[in-house]
Structure 1
Amino acid sequence: MDPISTSLLVAMATGAGGEVGRHLWSALRGLVRRNPAEGAAGAQGPAVGEVELASLAEAPHDVERARVLSEALSRRAEQDPLFRAALAQWQQQAQPLHAGDGDVHNAVNGGTQSGPVIQGRDFFGINFNVPGQG
């Protein structure tokens, strides 16, 4: 199973993707909080990944915290086949919000442009207020 992208975790922790992103973040929180040993004797303490998830929620723009959470999710997925299957399903649902990690190459070519140009990657919730023509 591929590790969960840190940029995806940061995007959802910061509320990117609107209602869909909030729903996916909530689903991940529920998945992580599910005790891997439900019904097993001696299951105590927070589930693997729960502390890391709470840490990222406290500082949602912190890429290092997202990396630590991603690693914890990977470790848990290796140890718990049910969690791995549920996490893979969650990851598939989250794919539309994630454009992928990598380089960004932007270009503005030809013609005459007027107005702002924003170059970057993975923008969410941006609104442009265009003044009325008149």
Structure 2
Amino acid sequence: MEAELTALAVSGATTLVGLMVSETWTQARDRVARFFARGGDQGSAVEELGRSQQELLAARAAQDELAGADIEAEWRTRLRRILQDDPQAAEELRCLLAELGPSVDDNHGASVHNSISGGVQNGPVVQGQSFSGLTFGVPGRVTPEQGASGQ
């Protein structure tokens, strides 16, 4: 059971941090704060979440992956403690993750959002899953399909 709670805490922290840097954070924040307040002062939970979000945004802007990982670890620890102290919290967290987490399409697996930042891409960038038959032409080169007859 401990491994299951740890996995749930990891999933919850990952989802939480992902939400903090998304457009949906403002809608999700109060729902998440209610979970962390556990019937107590929701205002302080909102403040803590807000501080973490600001720190996370600053870390991402500075490309400080370690600071971002530290923020996620802090929330993972809090989640694990809540799950250990309150057996009913696990089901509540599962419901919260199902409500706020990435949607899943039964036919195609989890939805994915990819982004590219920084640097210069001097060619095609392809992000996705299950590609086949992709061809990128290079000026002045003859592809095997063109062979000698395509010149």
TM-score, normalising length from structure 1? 0.51
Structure 1 segments (4+ residues) deviating >3 Å: 4-7, 50-55, 97-100, 105-109
- Return the structure number with greater helix share: 2
Are the counterparts in 2 of residues 12 and 24 from structure 1 also a CA contact under 8 Å? yes
With a CA cutoff of 8 Å and minimum separation of 6, indicate the structure with the bigger relative contact order: 1
Structure 1 residue 33: deviation in Å? 1.5
Query: CA RMSD, aligned part only?
Result: 3.7
Unaligned regions of 5+ residues in structure 1, if any? 39-45, 114-134
CA contact under 8 A between 2:102 and 2:111: conserved in structure 1?
Answer: yes
Give runs of aligned pairs for residues 29-48 of structure 1, distance below 5 A: 29-35=33-39
Aligned to 2:73, which of 67, 91, 96?
67
Number of the residue aligned with 2:28: 24
Determine helix, strand or coil for the equivalent of 1:96: coil
Q: Percent of counterpart pairs with the same letter?
A: 13
In the TM superposition, residue 11 of structure 1 has moved relative to its aligned partner by 1.9
SS of corresponding position for 2:88: helix
Separation (CA, whole Å) in 1 of partners of 2:50 and 2:89:
18
Greater Rg by CA: 2
What SS does the corresponding residue of 2:135 show, helix, strand or coil? coil
Measured in 2, the distance between the counterparts of 1:22 and 1:112 equals 44
- In 1, Cα distance between equivalents of 2:74 and 2:80: 10
**TM alignment of 1:96-111, pairs within 5 A:** 96=102, 106=127, 109-111=134-136
